[in-house]
């Protein structure tokens, strides 16, 4: 009678993953379609002896994260597009000061207030940096409630390994849909990092992003760039689905990758050798996986709920050696499997 | 060469050498002559050493002239974004029980760009020491108007003097803080003379003490000289503070309830692996399992019928308030309880507000790709006529319909589609509430499964899993479990096959 799994919506699964990874503190401000995250955190964090504060704004949230994370805690926040925009100044500081933390963006449609339906138009903001100054953050792209849990769980290790903010970027549909989730084992917790502002650590510890001398800042920024190159060398991650013999390679993430799999099956039934590359991280982008498919592939087709943002990375990854087409929709509607099949057939 | 005798060296809360300062200027501070920051830093540094808290104090350097506070203070430091010190301080303060956090902010940082973070931090009564440096001007950026600039005062952005109607009036922060219930201690002091400086010293030491004792939020506003920004000499700036600023910003204690305040007990994070596992992991329900399967208890005993090998795509639809989502939720739980992968996706977004409700449920032994059921549905569960009419075209030619026969007239369906009805709404009224309608529908679903698909073993299990799912979904309303189970049994009894076509796949 027992089952190994729970039925959780993606947003709840994210909170579970964070708690199992030993997240100490959650700071957030309510927004749709990320609402279940703050509500679940409000219940579970205090229940498990962790810190929860509903901040006065997303600006408040991210800066509380900065304080707690600087003090050596695993800290996180979550929001959707507009709230994430408000946080950007501080994300830049966090990247510059190399303070590890986790931020989830459960996207909605924009620009402006847009609507609460599904769109993937935050790609540029999240994947390319978002705030001022030339920083990058690793970006996980979960496509199921299970991955919301697993990637939140992994995100803290990644954040600490590279001393960086880490994003989890997905859409409102993955956030709100319920799915069966099997939980990972909770971590064994280690002491706060030696560089953190934890009583007992060297009191010379301090965080700043000011470097008045150009030579100093150059050194600092080159070190950040080296870190980003290291991520690109070590951490690319993509799911390859029926790509071994694929002549048409679809590229999609989040909810659209789920529909794309059904489209691949239908296309194959109609004699079109399609496959799917689903980036599990958007930065670093899975360039190697895409490049490995160039020889056999005739065409790449990027599927996005945006005007075409990830497509730029696909083109760069394969250095435009094959045509890259875009199937897109904006404003809050999904692209149905039938539309995908028709769209791919039209360009194949 | 003259020799000097040091009577009182720099406070031990300062670094012996300011090594973080760019060379070669490592003995002096970066502040302008006559600036109040140096004096204030000295008061803080002296307290850090005297109270022996250097190892557990974080001094927050704001954006403003004190941005380099970390050059000097021999304790933890962080430079925060402009105005955000209160939020960063909150995160720091909540992290460790014995940490002492000193948030040091100027008038632009605290009272203009960061006032929202500040006032909410005050409202929460975080355990912090607040030092608010009010010099009536933006010093670092070269003398622009501050929120505390006096009416008539000329600055580079109020060249004709601050105009009350256009630019607002000096913002009185200490009074606002004192008006709130949570802060424990609020005082306004000045650095205009040795006497006032000694009062400031006492106030700041008291604020730091309160923080060490976790009494809550202590706030000291300091009227501080900025002779360069205000274009005044030493005597002129003291006169400005004593005679002009104090008219608007009167000195003195505005609030002190530290003596009676019980230390705040904000929980600090703890981590307990076992507690986490107990709170989050699904509960083993072995007793219930054994009740049904006795000695034959095996993980793979159930769901041997072929139907369970196929992905099932189900649309549940009806009017808002008919229990559509809870019906779908129960079905999703049934699948989960038998270790199927399952997706549950209610109508998303503004469509929900049209008075209709529908939900896609997919259950599969394999990975589920698309969670959207918008074509090729295996099953349509319809609770009203418009839903049946709307979604019937999305049902597979071999699909199954389960419907409420008391409100739906079944249209012509294809030969290989099968329909099972039950007068759910009508029977529910007989049971005392329309709320039992969805359990009656579940009964019809069970009947259909038994007649078309299930082995005898699975038939028994199917009823068991309905019961388990109902218990789980209504765990917070235990009273309604029994009547829903009764409704399920009645639904199964009264359900009927509505057409005689071939059996579906």
Q: Where are the domains of chain A?
A: 6-234, 238-347
Chain B nearest CA to A275, separation (Å): 14
Asked if A56's CB is within 8 angstroms of B116's CB, the reply is yes
Residues B323 and B399 placed together within one structural domain of the fold: yes
Interface residue A16 vs chain B (CB under 8 A): yes
Asked if B99's CB is within 8 angstroms of A179's CB, the reply is no
Chain B nearest CA to A292, separation (Å): 24
Residues B227 and B309 placed together within one structural domain of the fold: no
Class of domain A6-234: alpha beta
- The answer to whether residues B497 and B354 touch, using CB atoms and an 8 Å cutoff, is no
A6, A71, A187: residue with CB nearest B282? A6
Contact list, A191 vs chain B (CB under 8 Å): none
Nearest to A68 by CA among A89, A48, A53: A53
Interface residue A176 vs chain B (CB under 8 A): yes
Which residue from A minimizes the CA distance to B368?
A258
Asked if A25's CB is within 8 angstroms of B77's CB, the reply is no
Q: Tell me which of 3.40.50.920, 3.40.50.360, 3.40.50.10490, 1.10.260.40 is the CATH number of domain A238-347.
A: 3.40.50.920
Interface residue of A172, A178, A252, A336 to substitute, partner B, most B CBs within 10 Å? A178
Which residue from B minimizes the CA distance to A47?
B279
Instruction: Provide the CATH number for the domain around residue B382.
Output: 3.40.920.10
- The answer to whether residues A137 and A95 touch, using CB atoms and an 8 Å cutoff, is yes
Which residues of chain A fall below pLDDT 70? Answer: 1-3
Strands of the B100-106 sheet, one edge to the other: A206-207, B76-79, B57-61, B100-106, B129-134, B218-223, B185-190, B252-256
Contact list, B117 vs chain A (CB under 8 Å): 56-57, 59-60, 63
B76, B269, B344: residue with CB nearest A25? B269
Per-residue pLDDT, B25: 79
3-class DSSP state for residue A77? Answer: strand
Structure tokens belonging to residue A314 = 């696909």
A71, A176, A183: residue with CB nearest B91? A71
Residues B193 and B319 placed together within one structural domain of the fold: no
Strands of the A75-79 sheet, one edge to the other: A51-54, A25-28, A75-79, A101-107, A165-171, A139-140, A281-283
Q: Establish if B11 belongs to a structural domain.
A: no
Residues B236 and B302 placed together within one structural domain of the fold: no
The structural domain count of chain B equals 2
In terms of DSSP bridges, do strands A139-140 and A51-54 run parallel, antiparallel, or are they unpaired? unpaired
Per-residue pLDDT, B282: 85
| Distance (Å) of CA B434 to CA B240, B407, B429, B440, B470 | 77, 13, 5, 10, 17
Asked if B372's CB is within 8 angstroms of A334's CB, the reply is yes
B20, B89, B280: residue with CB nearest A16? B280
Asked if A338's CB is within 8 angstroms of B375's CB, the reply is yes
Residues B249 and B146 placed together within one structural domain of the fold: yes
Asked if A73's CB is within 8 angstroms of B269's CB, the reply is yes
Interface residue A177 vs chain B (CB under 8 A): yes
A 106-125 residues with CB < 8 A to B: 115-118
Structure tokens belonging to residue B484 = 């829903």
Residues B397 and B461 placed together within one structural domain of the fold: yes
Strands (E), A18-109: 25-28, 51-54, 75-79, 101-107
How far apart (Å, rounded) are the C-alpha atoms in residues A200 and B76? 11
How far apart (Å, rounded) are the C-alpha atoms in residues B87 and A77? 13
**Does A238-347 match A6-234 at the fold level?**
yes
DSSP per position, B93-122 = HHH-TT-EEEEEEEHIIIIIITHHHHHHHH
Cα diameter, chain A = 67
A70, A172, A338: residue with CB nearest B92? A70
CB pairs under 8 A between A and B: 256
- The answer to whether residues B59 and B69 touch, using CB atoms and an 8 Å cutoff, is yes
Q: Establish if B432 belongs to a structural domain.
A: yes
Contact list, B393 vs chain A (CB under 8 Å): none
Interface residue A171 vs chain B (CB under 8 A): no
Structure tokens belonging to residue B400 = 């199954």
Read off φ and ψ for residue B459, nearest 5 degrees. -60, -45
- The answer to whether residues B418 and B395 touch, using CB atoms and an 8 Å cutoff, is no
ipTM given for this complex: 0.96
Asked if A97's CB is within 8 angstroms of B78's CB, the reply is yes
Domain that holds residue B112: 36-256
Contact list, A16 vs chain B (CB under 8 Å): 280
Which residue from A minimizes the CA distance to B98?
A199
Chain A nearest CA to B80, separation (Å): 8
Q: Establish if B10 belongs to a structural domain.
A: no
- The answer to whether residues B334 and B316 touch, using CB atoms and an 8 Å cutoff, is no
Interface residue of B69, B140, B269 to substitute, partner A, most A CBs within 10 Å? B269
B266, B288, B341: residue with CB nearest A180? B341
Which residue from A minimizes the CA distance to B302?
A1
Chain B nearest CA to A283, separation (Å): 24
Per-residue pLDDT, A3: 64
Which residues of chain B fall below pLDDT 50? Answer: 286-287, 292-298, 300-301, 349-352
- The answer to whether residues B192 and B223 touch, using CB atoms and an 8 Å cutoff, is yes
Asked if B81's CB is within 8 angstroms of A93's CB, the reply is yes
Which residue from B minimizes the CA distance to A172?
B348
Chain A nearest CA to B86, separation (Å): 8
3-class DSSP state for residue B377? Answer: strand
A140, burial (CB in 10 Å: exposed 0-12, middle 13-18, buried 19+): buried
Asked if B267's CB is within 8 angstroms of A51's CB, the reply is yes
Q: Establish if B505 belongs to a structural domain.
A: no
Structure tokens belonging to residue B111 = 């009272």
Which residue from B minimizes the CA distance to A66?
B88
- The answer to whether residues A10 and A174 touch, using CB atoms and an 8 Å cutoff, is yes
Residues B378 and B421 placed together within one structural domain of the fold: yes
Residues B242 and B94 placed together within one structural domain of the fold: yes
Contact list, A56 vs chain B (CB under 8 Å): 116-117, 120
Asked if B67's CB is within 8 angstroms of A2's CB, the reply is no
Asked if A55's CB is within 8 angstroms of B87's CB, the reply is yes
Residues B249 and B322 placed together within one structural domain of the fold: no
**Which H/E stretch holds residue B311?**
none
Interface residue A44 vs chain B (CB under 8 A): yes
Interface residue A336 vs chain B (CB under 8 A): yes
Cα torsion B202, B208, B209, B210: sign: positive
Asked if B67's CB is within 8 angstroms of A210's CB, the reply is yes
Per-residue pLDDT, A2: 45
Interface residue A4 vs chain B (CB under 8 A): yes
Instruction: Provide the CATH number for the domain around residue B169.
Output: 3.40.50.970
B79, B117, B269: residue with CB nearest A24? B269
Rounded to the nearest 5 percent, the helix, strand and coil shares of chain A are 40, 20, 40
Q: Establish if B106 belongs to a structural domain.
A: yes
Which residues share a beta bridge with A12?
Answer: none
Strands of the B341-346 sheet, one edge to the other: A6-9, A178-181, B341-346, B356-364, B312-319, B377-382, B395-404, B418-422, B496-497
Per-residue pLDDT, B339: 86
How far apart (Å, rounded) are the C-alpha atoms in residues B70 and B87? 18
Residues B76 and B224 placed together within one structural domain of the fold: yes
Asked if A59's CB is within 8 angstroms of B87's CB, the reply is yes
Which residue from A minimizes the CA distance to B92?
A67
Q: Establish if B282 belongs to a structural domain.
A: no
How far apart (Å, rounded) are the C-alpha atoms in residues B330 and B336? 10
Residues B44 and B149 placed together within one structural domain of the fold: yes
- The answer to whether residues A80 and A108 touch, using CB atoms and an 8 Å cutoff, is yes
Chain A nearest CA to B270, separation (Å): 5
Asked if A203's CB is within 8 angstroms of B55's CB, the reply is yes
Nearest to B96 by CA among A41, A197, A52: A197
Asked if A25's CB is within 8 angstroms of B79's CB, the reply is no
Chain A nearest CA to B272, separation (Å): 8
How far apart (Å, rounded) are the C-alpha atoms in residues B55 and B409? 78
Cis peptide before B307 (omega within 30 of 0): no
Residues B304 and B415 placed together within one structural domain of the fold: yes
| Distance (Å) of CA A265 to CA A181, A195, A246, A340 | 25, 50, 12, 11
Structure tokens belonging to residue B20 = 């973080």
Chain A nearest CA to B229, separation (Å): 22
């Amino acid at each position: 009678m027992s089952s190994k799994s729970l039925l959780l919506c993606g947003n709840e699964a994210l909170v579970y993953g964070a708690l199992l990874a030993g997240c100490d503190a959650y700071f957030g401000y309510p927004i749709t379609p990320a609402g279940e995250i703050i509500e679940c955190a409000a219940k579970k964090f205090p229940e498990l002896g962790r810190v929860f504060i509903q901040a006065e704004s997303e600006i408040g949230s991210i800066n509380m994260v900065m304080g707690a994370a600087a003090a050596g805690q695993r800290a996180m926040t979550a929001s959707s597009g507009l709230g994430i925009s408000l946080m950007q100044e501080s994300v830049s500081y966090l990247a510059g000061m190399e303070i590890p933390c986790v931020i989830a963006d459960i996207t909605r449609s924009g620009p402006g207030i847009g609507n609460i339906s599904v769109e993937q138009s935050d790609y540029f903001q999240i994947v390319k940096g978002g705030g001022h100054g030339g920083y990058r953050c690793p970006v996980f792209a979960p496509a199921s409630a299970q991955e919301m849990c697993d990637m939140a769980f992994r995100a803290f290790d990644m954040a600490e390994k590279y001393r960086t903010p880490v994003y989890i970027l997905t859409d409102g549909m993955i956030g709100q849909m319920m799915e069966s989730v099997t939980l990972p084992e909770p971590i064994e917790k280690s002491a706060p990092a030696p560089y953190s502002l934890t009583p007992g650590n060297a009191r010379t510890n301090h965080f700043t992003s000011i470097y008045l001398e150009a030579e100093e800042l150059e050194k600092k920024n080159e070190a950040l760039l080296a870190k980003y190159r290291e991520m690109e060398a070590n951490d690319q991650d993509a799911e390859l689905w029926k790509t071994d013999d694929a002549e048409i390679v679809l590229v999609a993430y989040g909810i659209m990758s789920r529909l794309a799999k059904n489209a691949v099956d239908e296309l194959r039934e109609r004699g079109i050798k399609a496959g799917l590359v689903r980036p599990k991280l958007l930065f670093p982008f899975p360039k190697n996986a895409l490049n490995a498919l160039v020889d056999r592939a005739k065409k790449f087709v990027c599927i996005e709920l945006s005007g075409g943002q990830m497509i730029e990375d696909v083109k760069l990854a394969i250095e435009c050696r094959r045509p890259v087409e875009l199937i897109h929709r904006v404003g809050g509607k999904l692209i149905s499997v039938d539309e995908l099949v028709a769209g791919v057939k039209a360009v194949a | 060469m003259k020799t000097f005798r040091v009577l009182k060296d720099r406070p031990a809360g300062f670094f012996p050498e300011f090594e973080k300062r760019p060379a070669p200027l490592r003995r002096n501070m970066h502040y302008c002559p006559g600036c109040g920051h140096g004096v204030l830093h000295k008061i803080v540094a002296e307290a850090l050493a005297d109270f022996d808290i250097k190892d557990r104090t974080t001094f927050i350097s704001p954006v403003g002239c004190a941005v380099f506070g970390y050059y000097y203070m021999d304790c933890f430091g962080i430079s925060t974004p402009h105005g955000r010190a209160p939020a960063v301080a909150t995160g720091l303060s909540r992290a460790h029980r014995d940490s002492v956090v000193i948030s040091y902010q100027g008038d632009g940082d605290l009272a203009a760009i960061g006032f929202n973070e500040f006032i909410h931090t005050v409202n929460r009564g975080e355990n912090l020491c607040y030092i608010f440096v009010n010099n009536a001007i933006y010093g670092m950026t070269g003398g622009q108007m501050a929120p505390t600039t006096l009416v008539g005062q000329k600055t580079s952005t109020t060249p004709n003097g601050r105009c009350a109607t256009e630019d607002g009036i000096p913002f009185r922060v200490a009074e606002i803080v004192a008006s709130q219930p949570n802060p424990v201690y609020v005082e306004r002091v000045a650095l205009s003379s040795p006497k006032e400086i000694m009062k400031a010293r006492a106030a700041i030491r008291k604020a730091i003490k309160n923080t060490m004792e976790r009494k809550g939020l202590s706030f000291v506003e300091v009227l501080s000289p900025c002779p360069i920004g205000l274009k005044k000499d030493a005597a002129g700036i003291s006169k400005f503070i004593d005679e002009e600023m104090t008219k608007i910003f009167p000195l003195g204690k505005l609030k002190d309830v530290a003596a009676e305040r019980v230390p705040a007990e904000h929980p600090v994070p703890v981590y307990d692996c076992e507690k986490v596992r107990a709170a989050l992991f699904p509960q083993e329900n072995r007793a219930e399992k054994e009740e049904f399967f006795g000695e034959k208890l095996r993980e793979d005993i159930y769901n041997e019928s072929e139907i369970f090998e196929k992905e099932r795509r189900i649309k549940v639809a009806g009017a808002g308030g008919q229990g559509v989502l809870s019906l779908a939720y129960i079905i999703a739980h049934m699948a989960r309880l038998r270790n199927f992968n399952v997706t549950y996706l209610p109508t998303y977004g503004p469509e929900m507000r049209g008075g209709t409700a529908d939900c896609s449920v997919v259950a599969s032994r394999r990975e589920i790709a698309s969670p959207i059921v918008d074509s090729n549905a295996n099953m349509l569960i319809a609770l009203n006529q418009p839903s049946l009419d709307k979604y019937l075209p999305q049902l597979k030619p071999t699909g199954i319909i389960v419907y409420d026969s008391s409100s739906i007239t079944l249209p012509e369906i294809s030969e290989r589609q099968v329909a099972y009805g039950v007068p759910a709404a009508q029977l529910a009224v007989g049971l005392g509430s329309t709320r039992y309608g969805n359990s009656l529908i579940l009964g019809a679903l069970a009947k259909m499964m038994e007649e078309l698909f299930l082995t005898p073993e699975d038939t028994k299990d199917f009823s068991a899993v309905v019961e388990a799912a109902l218990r789980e979904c209504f765990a917070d309303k235990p009273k309604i479990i029994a009547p829903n189970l009764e409704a399920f049994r009645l639904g199964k009894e009264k359900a009927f096959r509505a057409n005689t076509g071939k059996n579906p796949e």
